[in-house]
Structure 1
Amino acid sequence: MNTQTTTYTAFSGSILIATGQPTELAIKIKLIPKTTENILIFNDRTGLQTDLDLSGTELEIQQRYSGPEPAKKVGRPKLGVISREITLQKKHWDWLDQQSSSASALIRKLIDKELNDPSSESNIMLAKQSTDRFMSAMLGNMPNYEEATRALYQGDQTKFLKMIQDYPKDIKEYLASKTRHIF
């Protein structure tokens, strides 16, 4: 998807309670009075469920989730560069050699272009998979779940919206937001 900072969304049952980066989300959740429903937290980019450690004070939570990423030892760690190898055919190397930029710079530019294009084929598939993960966790036992999932992968927005129309408001709105570039 895009290269922006990843956000997370928390639900208590079918109620959306907060969205944000881990630090702010953990603090918001910690301040919520105990609920009878479990709080589920989803990575908005991948749709995967995650847990946040809410123990300690607000300052401890901020330190826990705002700390620097551990640096990799290979490449240029201060710049976030990780050294790896790729294998290309001769025709690919020939094409790269004809470009005005270095092979690495050109490959980074092509990848960044793809990452930042929400309507690219690969990003649409990633968005579908992310939405599917969320739906499986939140709606797996709901009526029309399987039909909604089929419509999602078929790219049938009309049928998808029809299948989710009776779902709880917050979940329906979250799904509409997650699928805005899919259809």
Structure 2
Amino acid sequence: MNTQMTYTAFLDEQCLASGPLVDVATAIQQHANQSNATVLIFNDQTGKQIDLDISGSKQDIQQRYAEHPETVKKVGRPKLGVISREITLQQRHWDWLDQQSSSASAVIRKLIDKELNDPNSESNKMLAKQATDRFMSAMLGNMPNYEEATRALYQGNKEVFLDLIRDYPKDIYQHILKLSAYAF
């Protein structure tokens, strides 16, 4: 599974830009200078629509949306991206964790990473379905076959799903295929 955050911007039915947030924001700003048309931006991992601030220069946008390490001192191991939170488990879970050769936190991180990297896991299939559904709802809520395609998506019926979406606009169709790649 792709764990790098990517975004896609659409101008009506046309894909305007796709990739890291800074690249999408820069492309939208360039387009905004030429047109006042509304652009919709989506997080590719969640399917959620987002808003961007494209004011200022190209350098302002690059500073605003470039991925850079946090400079604020945090408790724990911030260079590794570790965030401290409380977790509640049953005694048998703690007993099992205590028997492992690594710390409880390390074991839990490994289990989560294993799940995240398995595109065939049930949780990742559901996440892909939800992302696809959110995108389709925003872009195609009034299109023919939308509701039937959504039902086929959640039922895991790939053939019916693909048949129902085949006549959608090309860029939207391609993006749905990308989002639903791990849904079935």
Question: What TM-score, normalized by structure 2, do the two folds share?
Answer: 0.91
Structure 1 Cα separation of the partners of residues 111 and 14 of structure 2:
39
Identical residues among aligned pairs (%):
65
Structure 2 unaligned spans of 5+: none
Matched, 1:12 2:11: yes
Higher deviation after alignment, 104-113 or 93-102: 93-102
Structure 1 unaligned spans of 5+: none
Return the offset for 1:96: 1.3
Give CA-to-partner distance per residue, 1:150-183, whole Å, 9 cap, x none. Answer: 0000000111011111110111111111111111
- The list of structure 1 runs, each at least 4 consecutive aligned residues, that deviate by more than 3 angstroms after superposition, is 33-37, 67-74
Summarize the Cα distance change of 1:71–1:111 in structure 2 as closer, same or farther, 3 Å threshold. Answer: farther
Return the offset for 1:72: 7.0
Give the conservation status (yes or no) of the 8 Å contact 2:47–2:133. Answer: yes
Residue type at the aligned position of 2:102: S
Aligned residue in 2 for 1:175: 176
Residue type at the aligned position of 1:50: I
* Aligned residue pairs, count: 182
Structure 2 Cα separation of the partners of residues 169 and 36 of structure 1:
23
Aligned residue in 1 for 2:26: 27
Aligned residue in 2 for 1:159: 160
Residue type at the aligned position of 1:114: E
Return the offset for 1:91: 1.3
* SS of residue paired to 2:53: coil
Structure 1 Cα separation of the partners of residues 108 and 123 of structure 2:
16
Give the conservation status (yes or no) of the 8 Å contact 1:12–1:35. Answer: no
Question: What TM-score, normalized by structure 1, do the two folds share?
Answer: 0.92
Summarize the Cα distance change of 1:137–1:166 in structure 2 as closer, same or farther, 3 Å threshold. Answer: same
Give the conservation status (yes or no) of the 8 Å contact 2:129–2:154. Answer: yes
Summarize the Cα distance change of 1:55–1:162 in structure 2 as closer, same or farther, 3 Å threshold. Answer: same
* SS of residue paired to 2:42: strand
Structure 1 Cα separation of the partners of residues 73 and 141 of structure 2:
39
Return the offset for 1:119: 1.4
Give CA-to-partner distance per residue, 1:67-87, whole Å, 9 cap, x none. Answer: 544647433334322211111
